Amino acid sequence: MNFTKMNGLGNDFIVVAGEQRLPEDAAELAIRLCNRFFGIGADGLVYILPSEKADFRMRIINSDGSEAEQCGNAIRCVAKYVYDNGMTSKDEITIETLGAGVQKVQLTVEEAKVQSVRVDMGEPILQGLQVPTTVNAERVVEHEIEVDGRSFRFTAVSMGNPHCVIFVDDAVSFDLATWGPKLEVHPMFPRKINVEFVTVNSRTQADMRVWERGAGPTLACGTGACATLVASVLTEATDRTATISLKGGNLLIEWNEADNHVYMTGPAAEVFRGVL
């Protein structure tokens, strides 16, 4: 199996192209290959497949073998891969995802290589049961949740995958390893949850740290950055366009008022290639 190791702001993936369908043993492969000590090492295994609805189809298997509905960093890596490797010559393409449908992607190309990727991430889902949470409300904003005797307030957003955004005094030094895994499996989240801890520093900038469902702490999460911007607007903490600073770097996120879509702009990089 030929593979390419790629990352979006340090959120890293084993990218495989050329298969016609998702292998039956994809979950087992992801667990083995994503292991950073006995495998290649990655946050997830990504397959680029044919699509009947779009230019390409993306399937993402997390490092624990579960499948992610969507991943903002992975879709930027896929977009860079297909252009840089001659699978398309277009600078605007469509990519089919499992949870967010077909998404439009714009490529910024310099010297025949993709330098940055702007993705139309679609409309955020805010209805509590659809995110999903167990809260039956049109919008779940600053809702109280208790875990191990500690109370948090979260805002729920789905970007094709579920997120709970929690505002804290210092996201950069927050104890992610203690509270992330406990919140991920809280009974209030029937399909588990991605957890973002966020500190808003200005109307146009916020710090974010993430515990990803099925992967644990990662350096970046594109859908999480989108959810963070949406939650920040809902709580009147930021403007509708802001820079979200993750451990691996910055993403520019816009929640467009005209079409209600969220747009994400950021880089993707190839690290190395190999044969398994």
Tokens representing 175 are: 């104890």
Catalytic residue of the set 34, 71, 77, 226: 71
Strand stretches in the chain, DSSP E: 2-8, 11-17, 44-49, 56-62, 67-68, 92-97, 101-110, 113-120, 143-147, 150-158, 162-167, 194-202, 205-212, 216-218, 241-246, 249-255, 262-266, 269-275
Quote the distance between the C-alpha of residue 177 and its chain's center: 19
| Residue type at position 40 | I
- Return phi, psi of residue 266, to 5°: -170, 180
Residue found by looking up tokens 């702009």 in the block: 265
- The residues facing 167 across adjacent strands are 198
Pairwise CA distance, residues 118 & 2, whole Å: 27
Instruction: Single out the catalytic residue among 34, 77, 164, 221.
Output: 221
Is 221 among the catalytic positions? yes
Strand, coil or helix: what is 105?
strand
41: CB partners within 8 A, 6+ apart: 12, 34, 35
Cβ–Cβ under 8 Å, residues 33 and 62: no
Helix locations, the chain, DSSP H: 26-33, 72-84, 176-184, 222-234
Tell me, yes or no, if 164 is annotated catalytic: no
Catalytic positions, written as ranges: 71, 221
